[in-house]
Amino acid sequence: MRGKDLSGEVLEDRYRVLERIAEGAMGAVYRGTRLNIDRAVAIKVMHASLPSAMEGRKRFEREAKLMARLEHPHCVSLIDYGLHGAKPYVVMELVRGRSLHDALVEQGKFEITRAIDVMRQVLSGLAHAHEQGIIHRDIKPANIMVTPKAPLGLHVRILDFGLARMLEASTSVSNGVAVGTPSYMAPEQCRGEELDARVDIYACGVVLFEMLTGKKPFIAGDPIAIVKKQIDQPPPHLRDIPPGGDYGALEDIVARALSKSAADRFPSAVAMAEALEAAVSGRPATAEPTMVLPVTGDPSSSASKEKTVTLAPPSASMDVPITVGSSVIQKPPKPGSSVRRQLPVSRTRWFVLAALLALGAGVAFVVVNYDDWLGAKKPTEADAAFTRVVDVPKPPDAAPPSDPATDLAKQASDLVAAGKQQAAIDSLVKARKVYPDSAILALTLGKLYMGKLWWADGIANLRDAIKLDPNVKEDDEVIKLTVRGFLMTPSYDYRLANLLIEIGPPAKPALAEAAKSHPNPPTRARAESLLRRMH
């Protein structure tokens, strides 16, 4: 232990520390609770043994500021920040599950499809971090949490941005000293050189290698020997690790990610994710130029060099078989229309329904099962397969019926507000199967996908929403998310461009503003090009 165990203490009358759950180079992580609202949280407190003047304290405080900028389903979010006994602490959401490291220790390696799914989620989270100007610098299985999700999948969260640094920093925070975990460090990181986002691409290559084979590419008896191998020794092929096998396109993907030169690696997290998606789907990966954004700072300094920023493509499909209510699934009634009830009816009983409908014209009544009334046998499963809709006129003073699709969309929004974005997406995927003609469900799901940077799924759902309700074209959030995606993808994305063309005039002001004032010349040119297409 590097410092006093804070279990049982209360931090600034706001957080009660319950138990220590992990410890790292800079601080200890505790399970805690937010007083008054009893919310479970994770609390990271800087080690008491680190003097305030040391670089470790500055790095810890920087972690809090960086994490506050991360808002993504695959990145752990910062909740609060404070001081306890002159030592800083950060409060994060408590991620339930286990580390990828523990999962690999237990399983040895992953099936190819699962390894790709996990890595694409990691790349999605890194894409968001890189977009904010943040590189992680310590991607490894111990810093990746996995939580089971239906059906038999894993939801990934990236932990510990404690070694992250700003892309626009003109000098290395380590001042020429290699900082990181040797087995996952890129060659330039091992040499203590200035880094960019491609150092995370290298680490992802190591993690993917480990998930596929159960082994790290470089193994040695001491950290210095591993560092030397990272710098000088070519990585092994996947097929060379017993029991071997044919990994197809993954062989080239891993080899490119593990290139000794950063220039030879994937230029962005999204480029690597797209290559993985192509490996799964069998289609060719796109090979277009990578967009770069300038880093803010003094134009004369090295900090002003252009840096790669990244976004990530959609993850694997989340199709889930569902059952809603009973075996008969009903579409929602429109407000103001009569309530419609589905009843199981035998083919031999149509005359009963016809008579009841004739007698009940204009009068509210209850339809009873005629066979039950006569004491006859119950309908068989075959009988129940036949249904007819019976109108039951709504009493004049009754409140308008609620729209189940709207209610489901609201429930999903509530889940998002509670920080359960993946649960919201899963619920909307199910709901869309039941109510495929609901514009609000398609719109809500499309926005969530676009916010998560999963363009293909987001575009598909937004297009459905526009077909069902053309007014969606004027939704400010839809325009903002689509323009943002179009401007920040690494290459000209025709899917996003065509969606903006479909949206039409409502999207022009945002594009015109980008064409006029965006700090990156290639991005301005991209916006201008699309505006010309829209005229």
Helix (H) or strand (E) holding 355: helix 350-359
Q: What token pair was written down for 496? A: 């996003």
What are the start-end ranges of the E strands in 269-324?
292-294, 306-308
pLDDT of residue 148: 84
**Judging by beta carbons within 10 Å of its beta carbon (0-12, 13-18, 19+), is residue 455 exposed, middle or buried?**
buried
Query: What is the spatial distance between Cα 173 and Cα 177, in angstroms, rounded to a whole number?
Result: 9
Q: Three-state SS for 423?
A: helix
pLDDT of residue 386: 34
Query: What is the spatial distance between Cα 62 and Cα 68, in angstroms, rounded to a whole number?
Result: 10
Helical H runs in 170-265? 187-190, 198-213, 223-232, 249-257
Phi-psi region of 245 (alpha: psi -120 to 50; beta: other; left: phi over 0): left
Query: What is the spatial distance between Cα 163 and Cα 141, in angstroms, rounded to a whole number?
Result: 15
pLDDT per position as a tens digit, 437-447: 999 999 999 99
Query: What is the spatial distance between Cα 510 and Cα 118, in angstroms, rounded to a whole number?
Result: 34
Query: What is the spatial distance between Cα 455 and Cα 499, in angstroms, rounded to a whole number?
Result: 11
Q: What token pair was written down for 105? A: 């220790």
Tokens 């200035």 -> residue: 194
pLDDT of residue 310: 33
pLDDT of residue 229: 95
Known catalytic residues are 138
Nearest-CA neighbor of 345 among 391, 392, 385? 385
Q: What token pair was written down for 324? A: 């809603």
Q: What token pair was written down for 513? A: 């503003």
Cβ neighbours of residue 62 closer than 8 Å, sequence gap 6 or more: 164, 165, 173
pLDDT of residue 398: 52
**Judging by beta carbons within 10 Å of its beta carbon (0-12, 13-18, 19+), is residue 483 exposed, middle or buried?**
buried
pLDDT per position as a tens digit, 360-371: 444 333 333 333
pLDDT of residue 324: 29
pLDDT of residue 151: 62
Cβ neighbours of residue 241 closer than 8 Å, sequence gap 6 or more: 213, 214, 215
Cβ contact 309:197 at 8 Å: yes
Low-confidence ranges of the chain (pLDDT < 70): 1-3, 24-26, 48-61, 63, 150-152, 162-179, 282-402, 490-491
